[in-house]
Chains A and B, each alone.
Chain A
Amino acid sequence: NAGVTQTPKFQVLKTGQSMTLQCAQDMNHNSMYWYRQDPGMGLRLIYYSASEGTTDKGEVPNGYNVSRLNKREFSLRLESAAPSQTSVYFCASNWDRQLQETQYFGPGTRLLVL
């Protein structure tokens, strides 16, 4: 099993450009999450999907959109990138958001917005 995979691993964008970060899990998890990690801070939740067909805002959703394409895949889109979105983005998944048990993380996408 690959666990949680993310693409791309690294991306450089210019201000105003758009891009989509891809995430897939092969553990048959119901819930998936997108986080950003900035230096000196813990993870901040951007969006989550408690189950296939549902998405909800997290702590810092502004400037982002998500799509739960199917049970395996959860994508994060930046419509018009800004330098403040320079960060490392992590996708995670677990069985059930309500239980808030162990989350499994992908390797991350490093995004630099110039």
Chain B
Amino acid sequence: SQQGEEDPQALSIQEGENATMNCSYKTSINNLQWYRQNSGRGLVHLILIRSNEREKHSGRLRVTLDTSKKSSSLLITASRAADTASYFCAYSNYQLIWGAGTKLIIKP
């Protein structure tokens, strides 16, 4: 299977702490994307990083990409209760391949 792998599968932290999720993949890629899914909702795009980029920021989000290790990480700084959701990575070569997701719980 080409499915991306994410770890951890679940993460529970206190509000205000930083949350880090990792994604590994198996093939060469054009880009890697991160999405958020709130319970019972559709997925919402967070950030896209291209294969020639190493780091990208968007607000409290920081994404890194290491193509030599075929891995990416998503860092959410100063977490809030509203960040509670599942986070998915998806990487593209000729199609978009999805990871199984990390379930993030922010405790107040």
Contact A40 B100 (CB under 8 A): yes
| Contacting residue for A43 out of B31, B48, B88, CB 8 A | B88
Contact A41 B42 (CB under 8 A): no
Contact A108 B41 (CB under 8 A): yes
Q: Could you tell me the distance in whole angstroms from the C-beta of B93 to the nearest C-beta in chain A?
A: 8
Bound CA–CA A106/B48 (angstroms): 19
Map CB proximity to B onto A71-114 as digits: 1 under 8 Å, 0 otherwise.
Answer: 00000000000000000001010000000111111111000000
Bound CA–CA A106/B41 (angstroms): 8
Contact B31 A42 (CB under 8 A): no
| Contacting residue for B48 out of A92, A101, A104, CB 8 A | A101
With A41-B100, A42-B88, A42-B101 as known contacts, state yes or no: A102 contacts B48, CB within 8 Å: yes
A45 adjacent to chain B (CB < 8 Å): yes
B3 adjacent to chain A (CB < 8 Å): yes
Number of contacting residues on A, CB 8 A? Answer: 19
Q: Could you tell me the distance in whole angstroms from the C-beta of A101 to the nearest C-beta in chain B?
A: 7
With A42-B4, A108-B41 as known contacts, state yes or no: A100 contacts B100, CB within 8 Å: no
B70 adjacent to chain A (CB < 8 Å): no
Interface residues of B in 73-105 (CB under 8 A from A): 88, 90, 92, 94-96, 98-101
**20 pairs across A/B with beta carbons < 8 Å?**
A40-B100, A41-B100, A42-B4, A42-B90, A42-B98, A42-B99, A42-B100, A42-B101, A45-B95, A45-B96, A58-B95, A90-B42, A90-B43, A92-B43, A100-B31, A100-B94, A101-B48, A102-B48, A103-B45, A107-B42
